[in-house]
Amino acid sequence: MTSSPLTPSSSPSPLEHGGRLHTIAQQYNRPVADWLDVSTGIAPESYPLPDLPSSVWHRLPEITPSFLKAASDYYGCESLLPVAGSQSVIQHLPAIVSRAGRKPSRVWVPHPGYKEHEKAWADAGVPVYRYRHLPHLTALKSGDIVVVINPNNPTGTLEERTTLATLQEQLHALNGLLIIDEAFMDCTPEHSMLQSLHGENLLVLRSAGKFFGLAGIRAGFLFASRQWRERCSAVLGPWQINGPALQVLESAFNDVSWQSVQRSQLNESALWLGNLLTTHFGVKCTGTALFCTMPHTRAPELFAAFCAEGVYPRLTDEKDALRFGMVTVSQRARLAQVVARVSGIMERP
């Protein structure tokens, strides 16, 4: 659990994310309908929408006991707060921590990693340090906050629960805080810290849209002690998730059979995609069941080549890799053909 030398980060410039299909389509002068968008880590097969009663459009959203039970059963933890996507919590974490009367000395964020964590703290004026390996006890000091993205986005690195439990204990002794972003954990729930959520210095974030293929409903959860959930709720305000989304999610959480099929399909898709990219580009890919990341020394050039073929991957923030989301079985032939063509282009002198 060694750490890299401390490197203070400056506040990042405005961040770009995947999913900007209309912008990319305009840039490459290709109609939106002609694109294969693999720029996000959202499951390509979404949960089938149930019939919705008219009341969900008419009434204010209400977190019902049946919704809480469905969510608690799915995640295996009752200490939850429904929020409008985990991103809504990430950008308000400094304010939530401040409400607790804490003044963090430093915040550690993974590098590479989802940059919105770094941006939120840097914009709040908190010193941010990037790490490639979890910081060792000797590197931590009183009041430190450590952010862990588990599994990491975009590397797919998965930290063991025992390692994170030790880190939580070390931070507790230092009056520090451990924040774990488990947005891509749904296919590996056995590694989740929700199985042993305890203490006042652990916050866990989950995204409901990625695994269920429903990113458009903007739903997620904060798992933490009652005090932290109350602070978060006070900062974010009421009606975080809209009525139709609550109805759809309750159905999705209760559909154990669909979840099992989804996990199986995603795992098989990830294996297929990893093999495809490794075969044609000769590099080892990493990732999760929801995305595959391929490092490449000519990643920006490779990104442009894929876009010229109507395939939109995600160029990582460090510009040293491409991240590919999963595709449906019917889309595999097209992606395989484009991968073959692009790899051939890149081999030319």
| pTM for the full predicted model | 0.94
How many Å is the maximal CA-CA distance in the chain? 63
List the domains of the chain with CATH numbers: 21-45+257-347 (3.90.1150.10), 60-254 (3.40.640.10)
pLDDT reported for residue 339? 98
What stretch of H or E contains 287?
Answer: strand 286-287
Give residue 5's pLDDT.
39
Cβ proximity of 306 and 312 under 8 Å: yes
pLDDT for residue 9: 52
User: How many whole angstroms separate alpha carbon 16 and alpha carbon 39?
Assistant: 11
N-term to C-term CA, the chain: 42
Contacts of 26 by beta carbon, 8 Å cutoff, 6+ apart: none
Q: Please tell me the distance from the alpha carbon of residue 105 to that of residue 103, in angstroms, as a whole number.
A: 6
State whether residue 272 is helix, strand or coil. Answer: helix
Cβ 153 vs Cβ 113: under 8 Å: yes
Helices (H), the chain: 21-27, 55-58, 65-75, 86-90, 93-99, 115-123, 161-173, 226-236, 243-254, 256-281, 299-308, 332-347
CA neighbor of 124 nearest in space, from 142, 152, 102, 149: 102
Q: Which residues of the chain have pLDDT under 50?
A: 1-7, 11-12
The alpha-helical segments, DSSP class H, found in 101-173 are: 115-123, 161-173
Residue 204 CB neighbours (<10 A): 25
Q: Report pLDDT for 2.
A: 42
Parallel, antiparallel, or unpaired: how do β-strands 220-223 and 202-207 relate?
Answer: antiparallel
Q: What are phi and psi of 80, to 5 degrees?
A: -125, 155
159 three-state secondary structure = coil
pLDDT of residue 13: 59
* Pair type for strands 220-223 and 80-83: antiparallel
How many CB atoms sit inside 10 A of residue 347's CB?
9
Give all strands (DSSP E) within 111-194, no chain letters.
128-131, 145-149, 177-181
pLDDT at 322: 98
